[in-house]
């Protein structure tokens, strides 16, 4: 195979993992519960690939001759966040969860952060980003103090109005926070959250930037790049991997733009890896408990799936999967610890069959590595032989 295309539908889980109750996620089933709430999902193209053969999903028939290999994957890593899921897909299993701060960050962390940026801060609590900028926005604009907050994820988020703290200065503040948050306080991501005031409302802009920890071991991206292959990261892939192992980064505003750039990258001449994250399911619908919106976004992807498949070259290998769940039908607005779907399509593969339950997301990365002739993955067992069999 000349190229592997990994397309991550962020938060599109397919059922609670056996240990989900430890995270408060018992009963979570992002796809299944959305389908139940909206009266069935209409996803004819994913259905033809074999989505309905993975799990029972209302509206998605299992009685089709699947066009793709199909199965599901369990997360071997500790945690249920975006970075953990993507790292595991790329071959790095995280054994210890990243630290979280449900009661806010320690005083010594904020003191050092304040010393480095030359001012104090507001907030320091767990909050919704849209809510906290509305609550503290007026004080921020009056004082010039940045707003610091976190969530159930391992994140240190810094929000500021672009007219008060320019985006470039906000980025420097986040770089300082990234240096402070080390050792036992090494949060997964520091995130710059710029916003503006429009018509009296506080509105986040698309100039967000993530400052992530670097993976502790070489990933599929590193190995492919070191072998001289193209590694094209679309969406927030570059941020997730701390801008390591990519030869090109294409940032996107939404799913539609991510799909368009993915199709363009597939049509272009390259050799190696195309890795895309479609994040709208997570940020716009999962965290906001919007099942109807989530269902619409799934249908919008399904409508464009034939465009993606038609762009594939004969030697391309397409993986469709997710990084965790974010069930919008539960009281929680956090990620949910779930299995993720696995669909694998290629024009020159063998007859599609079930891939069963893979014990780790890293099996995907190991398979992509073997398809590209790469060695040195830290984790995962390749199922490439199943794809090329009779």
Ranges of beta strands (E only) in 217-284 are 230-234, 248-250, 272-278
State residue 67 phi and psi, 5-degree precision: -90, -10
Whole-angstrom distance, CA of residue 154 vs CA of residue 79: 10
Whole-angstrom distance, CA of residue 339 vs CA of residue 8: 13
Q: Strand, coil or helix: what is 44?
A: helix
Q: What is the mean pLDDT of the chain?
A: 96
Residue 290 in contact with residue 302, Cβ under 8 Å?
no
Residue 144 in contact with residue 165, Cβ under 8 Å?
yes
- Look up tokens 């994140």; give the residue: 155
pLDDT of residue 134: 96
State residue 171 phi and psi, 5-degree precision: -65, -40
Name the pLDDT band for 389 (thresholds 50, 70, 90).
confident
Residue 1: which of 317, 333, 388 has the closest Cα? Answer: 317
pLDDT of residue 390: 65
pLDDT tens digits, 347-359: 999 999 999 999 9
Mean pLDDT score, 291-312 = 98
pLDDT tens digits, 98-129: 999 999 999 999 999 999 999 999 999 999 88
pLDDT for 203 beyond 90: yes
Helices of type H across 281-375: 291-311, 362-371
pLDDT of residue 351: 95
Helices of type H across 77-166: 82-89, 107-117, 129-143
Whole-angstrom distance, CA of residue 340 vs CA of residue 328: 16
Mean pLDDT score, 222-233 = 98
pLDDT tens digits, 69-103: 999 999 999 989 999 999 999 999 999 989 999 99
Mean pLDDT score, 199-217 = 92
Q: Strand, coil or helix: what is 97?
A: coil
Domains of the chain (ranges; CATH) run 3-96+214-388 (3.40.720.10), 107-211 (3.30.70.1250)
Residue 19: which of 92, 74, 99 has the closest Cα? Answer: 74
Name the pLDDT band for 278 (thresholds 50, 70, 90).
very high
pLDDT of residue 303: 98
């Amino acid at each position: 195979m000349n190229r592997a295309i990994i397309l991550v539908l962020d938060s599109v889980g397919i059922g609670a993992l056996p240990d989900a109750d430890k995270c408060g996620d018992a009963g979570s089933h992002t796809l299944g519960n959305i389908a139940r709430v909206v009266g069935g999902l209409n996803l004819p193209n994913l259905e033809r690939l074999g989505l309905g053969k993975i799990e029972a999903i209302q509206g998605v028939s299992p009685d089709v001759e699947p066009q793709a290999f199909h199965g599901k994957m369990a997360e071997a890593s500790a945690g249920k966040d975006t970075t953990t899921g993507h790292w595991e897909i790329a071959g790095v299993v995280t054994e210890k969860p990243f630290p979280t701060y449900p009661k806010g960050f320690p005083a010594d962390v904020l003191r050092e952060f304040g010393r480095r940026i030359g001012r104090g801060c507001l907030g320091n609590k767990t909050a919704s980003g849209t809510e906290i900028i509305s609550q503290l926005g007026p004080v921020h604009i009056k004082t010039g103090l940045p707003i610091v907050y976190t969530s159930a994820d391992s994140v240190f988020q810094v929000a500021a109005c672009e007219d008060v703290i320019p985006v470039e200065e906000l980025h420097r503040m986040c770089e300082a926070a990234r240096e402070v948050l080390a050792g036992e306080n090494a949060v997964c991501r520091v995130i710059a959250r710029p916003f503006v005031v429009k018509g009296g409302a506080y509105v986040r802009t698309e100039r967000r930037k993530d400052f992530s920890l670097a993976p502790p071991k070489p990933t599929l991206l590193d190995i492919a790049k070191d072998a001289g292959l193209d590694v094209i990261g679309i969406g927030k892939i570059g941020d997730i991997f701390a801008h390591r192992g990519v030869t090109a980064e294409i940032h996107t505003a939404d799913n539609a733009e991510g799909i368009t750039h993915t199709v363009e990258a597939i049509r272009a001449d390259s050799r190696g890896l195309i890795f895309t994250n479609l994040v709208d399911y997570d940020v716009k619908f999962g965290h906001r408990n919007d099942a109807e919106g989530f269902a619409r976004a799934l249908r919008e992807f399904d409508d464009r799936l034939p465009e993606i498949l038609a762009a594939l070259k004969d030697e391309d290998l397409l993986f469709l999967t997710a990084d965790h769940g974010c069930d919008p039908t539960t009281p929680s607005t956090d990620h949910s610890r779930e299995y993720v779907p696995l669909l694998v399509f290629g024009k020159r593969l063998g007859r599609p069959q079930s891939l069963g339950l893979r014990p780790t997301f890293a099996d995907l990365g190991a398979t992509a590595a073997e398809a590209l002739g790469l060695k040195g993955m830290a984790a995962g067992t390749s199922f490439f032989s199943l794809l090329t069999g009779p």
